[in-house]
């Protein structure tokens, strides 16, 4: 049943007009799109972050309080920032590290989650992709810098990195329907890695 639902959702993505994006997101929030797997002290994560991800994480952590790094493998982003941000604050509160393997690919909200690590590390070959957020009508870059629409995401970045510079970089790096894969120099410039 889960596979059938995933195929149906994928087909919806292929035939859906932009005006129906919210319907597609609602459907995807009804299923489990994030997979967690514990290997030793590592919590491996893959899949889209959605409204169910925080609850999944809490259940896995409750049963495995020995985990230390959250290892993001292939995480294409977040369907629900109202879940991603509390999840990220929870990762920071628990003092977990975040890590990317040489084959990890993280984009959008998954990058924001990566920033929650107390210690943030990555192997050469990992891909970090960023872009602007959108409210469905306008991209973040379309709002003036002092607009209240920026505040939740801007403050989150500032809380994690000590500065909001990376937030402003992401919203101008690529439009919401695009992606910018960061260079090693950009990753260093914005302090994404702790070592």
Domain 33-189: homologous superfamily in CATH: 2-enoyl-CoA Hydratase; Chain A, domain 1 (3.90.226.10)
Distance CA 132, CA 138 (A): 10
Q: Is 80 helix (H, G, I), strand (E, B) or coil?
A: coil
CA 177 to chain centre: 15
Q: Where are the beta strands (DSSP E) in the chain?
A: 34-39, 42-47, 69-75, 97-107, 120-122, 127-130, 180-181
Residue ranges matching CATH 3.90.226.10 in the chain: 33-189
Q: What is the pLDDT of residues 121-153, one digit of tens each?
A: 999 999 999 999 998 899 999 999 999 999 999
Q: What is the pLDDT of residues 12-59, one digit of tens each?
A: 444 444 444 544 444 454 566 799 999 999 999 999 999 999 999 999
Residue appearing with tokens 């990376």: 166
Q: What is the pLDDT of residues 143-185, one digit of tens each?
A: 999 999 999 999 999 999 999 999 999 999 999 999 999 999 9
CA-wise closest residue to 33 among 44, 47, 22? 47
């Amino acid at each position: 049943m889960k596979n059938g639902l995933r195929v149906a959702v994928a087909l919806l993505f292929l035939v859906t007009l932009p005006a129906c994006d919210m319907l597609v997101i609602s459907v995807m929030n009804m299923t489990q799109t994030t997979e967690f797997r514990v290997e030793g002290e590592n919590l491996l994560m893959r899949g889209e972050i959605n409204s169910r991800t925080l609850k999944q994480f809490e259940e896995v952590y409750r049963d495995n309080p020995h985990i230390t790094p959250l290892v993001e493998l292939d995480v294409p982003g977040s369907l629900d920032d109202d879940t991603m941000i509390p999840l990220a604050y929870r990762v920071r509160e628990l003092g977990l590290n975040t890590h990317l393997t040489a084959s990890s690919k993280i984009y959008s909200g998954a990058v924001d989650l990566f920033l929650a690590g107390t210690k943030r590390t990555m192997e050469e070959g990992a891909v970090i992709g960023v872009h602007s957020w959108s409210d469905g009508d306008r991209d973040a870059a379309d709002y003036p810098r002092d607009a209240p629409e920026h505040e939740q995401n801007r403050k989150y970045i500032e809380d994690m990195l000590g500065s909001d510079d990376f937030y402003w970089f992401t919203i101008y790096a690529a439009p919401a329907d695009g992606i910018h894969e960061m260079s090693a120099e950009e990753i260093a410039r914005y302090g994404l890695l702790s070592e």
